[in-house]
Chain A
Amino acid sequence: MKNTLKDVLGRLSLTSVIALASSAAFADVKVGAIFDLTGGLNIYGIQQNNALNLAIKNVNAAGGVNGETVTVVGYDAQSELSKYTQFAQTSVLRDGISAMFAGLTSSSREAIRPIFREANIPYFYSSLYEGGACDRQTFVTGSSASQQLNVLMNWAVETYGPKIYIMAPDYNFGTISGHWIHKFAADNGAEVVGEDYLALSVTDYAPTIQKIQAASPDVVVALPVGAAQTGFLEQFAAAGLKDTIGVVSTNYGSGNQQVVVSPQAGEGLVSAMGYFPSVESDANAAFKAAWEAEYGSDTPIVAGAVDVWNAVHLWAAAVNKAGTADTEEVIAALESGLTFEAPNGTVTLEPGSHHLRQDVYIARGNANSGFDIVQTFEDSAPTYENEMCDLIENPDLAEHFIPEG
């Protein structure tokens, strides 16, 4: 019984392998993609995947890489971590890809990073995150926490005052961001008067709101993750606190929060990120036009999508520069200080840390669930990653740096 079933399954998968292989036979360069197209994280995953396909189309329209067409072998991770490992192995063992674009959460990145390191395939991670990922095969095109928080804290202390309260999710993104808030607050002569790290399961924010009032800060740094934590902003506003205490964030608006939050709660919230659709530049106008032509304009474009777009173009530029898609040459080209005219301004790939130097924008939520850009900080460097991670000096580094304390 068991055997026959296995045989059937085996045959089934073999045929599917053959089918996939034959469909890819005329392609010269293959890249892999693993994003969450279904499940709870698909608001990001679908856009990341859309950006990837759009970028590949754009690259192919411009003549491909080294004159060869690029094709995508894509997978749906279904918002499940175990699927990431499985598909990463699949792409290595079966598909023969030249580069991988994958992942949203830090855990998804950490799960698959060793696989591509071992297989020696460049891996592009495109999402804002807490920072610190470091190895020779990994390239990060999203902005790291220190990169965003540096400018944001500066601005927040100046605008609202020196007493700061932290509301963040209780896992790495939140706690490491918390660390940077402490550091940048101290740098600016400000003080963290209280902090609350919340489990993702929390739906009732009354305790947090009381603690905030007890600490009476000038500004709350709120880093809500997921729809439930977005409820915090709603409850904060309903308690009548929004008018007296400022709210700033590095991830509000990175996905759907500005849509989920009602206008009366969302208006006036301040966010600092590497991209807002309202960025005014030719590159962004062209990007948005291409996007709308392909996918329409129903949902605002998230920063993660632009990060994927940038990743694909940086990779293509590196392959063209190297004249081959072979890993060693491509990494060498990527480490040569590549720049790219991105929708969010000029981005530069730092050779040592494999992170991007890019613009960071501070924007304020408006009444239409959109953002108005308040200030632009050009060419913000990933200082922490540059400091910790020098892959030119130490190509064998394979770490995830976490700031002490």
Chain B
Amino acid sequence: MFEKLYKSSGLIFPALATIAALAVSGSLDAYLAFVATSWIIFGLLGLSLDVIWGRGGLLSLAQTAFYGLGGYFGAVVAINMAPTYGMSLVWALPCSALFGALIAAALGYVIFYARMGALQSTILSYTLTLLLWSVTQTFKLDVGAATIGGDNGLSGIPGFVLGFGEEAKKLKPNAAFALVVCISAAVYFVTYWLMRSNFGKIVDCIRIDIQKTELLGYDIRKVQVLNFAYSGAVAGIAGALFALWANYLNPSIFSVQEALLVPIYVLVGGLGTLAGPFLGALIIGGLSFWLGGGAAGGQTTLILGTVLILLVLFLQNGVLGALGSLWRRFMPDPNNAARLTGAVQIDTEVLEDILVEAEKTAGPAKNLSTDEAFKRFGGVIPVNKVSRDFTPGEPHSLIGPNGAGKSSFLKTCVGLYRPEGGTISLGDEDITKAPVFARVRSGMGMKNQKPQVFGEKTVRENLWIAAYARTKDSAKSDAISAQILGMLGLGAQSGVQASALSHGQQQWLDIGMVLCLAPRVVLLDEPAAGMTNEETRELSVLVRTLAKHTTVVVVEHDMEFVRTLEGHVTVLHQGKLFAEGDIKTLRANDAVLDIYLGRGEHV
């Protein structure tokens, strides 16, 4: 009961709050209703940021730009249509949402397709806001009955008008408050649903580990742009509501201060909580209302500044975040099961089944070939004209000194690095220029050196999201993830957060995620690193089984492990092919001993 309530708290409490707000809306002091309406609108603006920041991982300082632009656009339409046809909302809201979404998508395209760093993205979004602020001061335009008059702003915006026709009257403050509550609640619940949907799950994964998400075959840039566009639409709706509320817009909406106020709402309420921004706006709005409402010069900024500092220092997750962790303290810890694991044992029969099944759905194993592949970083050339064919049947090992370019070679194959020359093909397909996710969809699966798992998600969810990347079907993904879970022997830990697993278990989970993709070519970068000897033995079994059905390339330092694979070994040195053959021949090769194995006793 207690746990159920916790899990659906994002639905129940906002619903109760909405009902309560509607219940009191009639009896509220008209003036308080008027002011409180603006808090709800700011909360909605905060929600738009929470979508892209708390969920999407990008601190956007352009939310006020979408808000302002959406507001202007919707207001212009409303000014022209509402006096004749009424229904200011029906004109303003969709136009604002659309315009906000378009601008956000355009900015998102630049940010995400350029693959900008986090700070740089934030700054670019901020630049947009600043640019608007300086340009709109003098921007003058007449659109029908609407006059955008530079810093004098846009006035004459109709209020909240619900009726049709010329006679329709604008709503009184109390009714307007109830209306804004309803609209905001609707947007909130849609957002809540969206963030819980499969789309939302992918958004979450991108935030947690963007590279891993792309390595699962998701077109992360598209998802990010869509998410940003949605957040822009929400901001646009908030902008329209604000325009109708204030009946006036002005370039100060794009000011530095406004832009930075939005993150505060989110932080106060709790980042990533969706409902938090409303609470944050209510607290900040209430605070500045209470402090600065009178004639005596309230030192609102002084107090707000102090509150902000204290908040960052002492209440990192905001009010809702803090309440949530307090609540969790009274619930059983789902991660307890993590400590009860025994040693991993691969069930080869199940593994065979999975691989046969995969072959049926994804087709036969593919060759991976490189032809004169070339990659440089400044003066360093980690991949220097490597031509090599990898075929199914037996495992291929890549060894070589540190810095020989083994990892870089794998990363070039999977597309994490873009080669400057040569070609890379998967089967008959030339994938040299294809983005990472496209290669994965064509059948490549890669596991990086460090285990990459979505720490906040449970073990089952991790596998599910990997399976869903290929199948795009919830039921099939359920089945596949359950099967792999059983094969890895992690059944008891299915509800444990991946971050609670030990390093070795995370390695296995990561490998399991790669298997969920039913890859036709598997690239493993030092999979045995950090594994105990018995785990390494299990791994060897797994790799050998895998190689019967797919092409497998393994980078490894552990010579004992390489030996047990009984496969083909390639030695790389300074980015070039140096030697190849089986491990025995190489051990007898003087050159290899010189550059790599050494002649000591510790090998």
Contact = CB atoms under 8 A, between A and B. Distances in A.
Contact of B149 (A37, A199, A201, A400): A400
A1 B323 CA distance: 10
Contacts, number: 152
A114 interface: yes
Interface stretch (B69-77, B243-251, B580-588): B243-251
A76 B250 contact: no
A107 B250 contact: yes
A213 B413 CA distance: 62
Given A3-B16, A81-B252, A85-B246, A107 B152 contact: yes
A285 interface: no
A170 B138 contact: yes
11 contacts: A2-B20, A2-B275, A5-B283, A74-B295, A75-B294, A80-B252, A85-B246, A90-B293, A111-B155, A400-B147, A400-B155
Given A3-B16, A6-B21, A171-B150, A115 B31 contact: no
Contacts of A90: 31, 34-35, 293
Interface in A138-190: 170-172, 175
B151 A106 contact: yes
A113 interface: yes
B471 interface: no
Contact of A115 (B153, B247, B296): B247
SS class, residues of chain B in contact with chain A: helix
Contact of A107 (B151, B279, B289): B151
B250 to A, nearest CB: 5
A67 to B, nearest CB: 25
B32 interface: yes
A1 B247 contact: no
Closest 3 CB pairs of A and B: A74-B295, A94-B31, A93-B31
A78 interface: yes
Interface stretch (B120-128, B297-305, B396-404): B297-305
A91 to B, nearest CB: 9
A402 interface: yes
A106 B34 contact: no
Chain A contact residues, majority secondary structure: helix
Contact of B17 (A3, A12, A38, A398): A3
Interface in B258-297: 275, 278-279, 282-283, 286, 289-290, 292-297
Given A2-B282, A10-B32, A107-B252, A76 B296 contact: yes
Interface size class of A (residues with CB under 8 A): 35 or more
B173 A93 contact: yes
A17 interface: yes
B134 interface: yes
A78 B246 contact: no
Given A78-B300, A111-B250, A13 B34 contact: no
A5 B24 CA distance: 13
Q: Which of B17, B21, B138, B152 has the most chain A CB atoms inside 10 A of its CB?
A: B152
Contacts of A83: 292
Given A3-B20, A38-B298, A402-B149, A170 B155 contact: no
B134 A110 contact: no
B38 interface: yes
Interface string B144-180: 0001011111011000000000000000010000000
A9 interface: yes
A398 B155 CA distance: 11
A5 B31 CA distance: 18
B421 to A, nearest CB: 47
A119 B24 CA distance: 25
Nearest to B33: A93
A38 B297 CA distance: 6
B29 interface: yes
B137 A199 contact: yes
Contacts of B36: 6
Contact of A114 (B14, B248, B275, B294): B248
A105 B297 CA distance: 19
B13 interface: yes
Contacts of A1: 13, 279, 319, 323
B386 interface: no
A59 interface: no
A179 to B, nearest CB: 12
B30 interface: yes
Contacts of B296: 76
